[in-house]
Amino acid sequence: MTDAIYHELLLDLYKHPLNKRVLPDCDARQTEHNPSCGDTIEVCVKWDTNNAVKAVAWQGDGCAVSQAAASILTEKIKGKKRNAIKKISNQKMLQLLGLKNLNPTRLRCATLCLETLKKICR
């Protein structure tokens, strides 16, 4: 199937997610919900002494886009400072996912994890 959204990397991440686990005694925890499709993402972060990500994990369920985004993003931010995470744009998120021109409903799926993380970094 020639499919712009459901490319191999995305499907692969959906089937074999990264960093999807429980993180005991984390420093910050945040859950976000996308009511239009019922996607839920919970992100947990542990900071090191420099205010950078020492460990990160996520849990949740939802569509392939939101789930793949969570894997990619949590992978990307390991070792990153709070301020650097705050600066990640939606555009950047799509780029990480290898997607363009998502319709607005799907865009919310793609950025749900990013939104959650930004709340943690506030």
Partner 1 sequence: MEAIKKHFPIFRHQKDLIYLDSAATTQTPQVVIDALTAYYTNYRANVHRGFYALATKATNAYESARDSVAHLIKAKREEIIFTSGTTMGLNSLAYSLSPRLSHRDNVVLTRLEHHANLVPWQEMAKHYGFELRFIELKKYELDLESAKKLIDANTKIVSFTLVSNVLGNITPAEELIRLVRQKAPRALAIVDAAQAIAHLPIDVKKLDCDFLVFSGHKMYGPTGSGALYGKKMLLDEHLEPFFFGGEMVRSVSYESADWMPSPHKFEAGTPNIAGAIGLGAAADFIMKLGWKKIQNHESELTAHALKKLKNEVTIIGPVRNRIGVIAFTIPGVHPHDIADILNQKKICLRAGYHCAEPLHHYLNISATARASFGIYTTKKEIDALAKGIQKIKKMFL
**Which residues of this chain interact with partner 1, rule CB under 8 A?**
1, 3, 5-6, 11, 14-15, 36-39, 61-65, 105-106, 109
11 vs 72: CA distance, rounded Å: 12
Nearer to partner 1, 37 or 94 (CB): 37
Nearer to partner 1, 65 or 97 (CB): 65
Q: How far is the CB of 52 from partner 1 (least distance, A)?
A: 33
| Coil, strand or helix at 28 | strand
Which residues, including other chains, have CB under 8 Å from residue 29's CB and lie 6 or more apart?
Answer: 42, 43, 44, 45, 120
Q: How far is the CB of 14 from partner 1 (least distance, A)?
A: 7
Q: How far is the CB of 67 from partner 1 (least distance, A)?
A: 8
Nearer to partner 1, 57 or 99 (CB): 99
Interhelix angle 104-121/90-97, rounded to 10 degrees, is 110
Here the tokens at position 91 are 């555009």
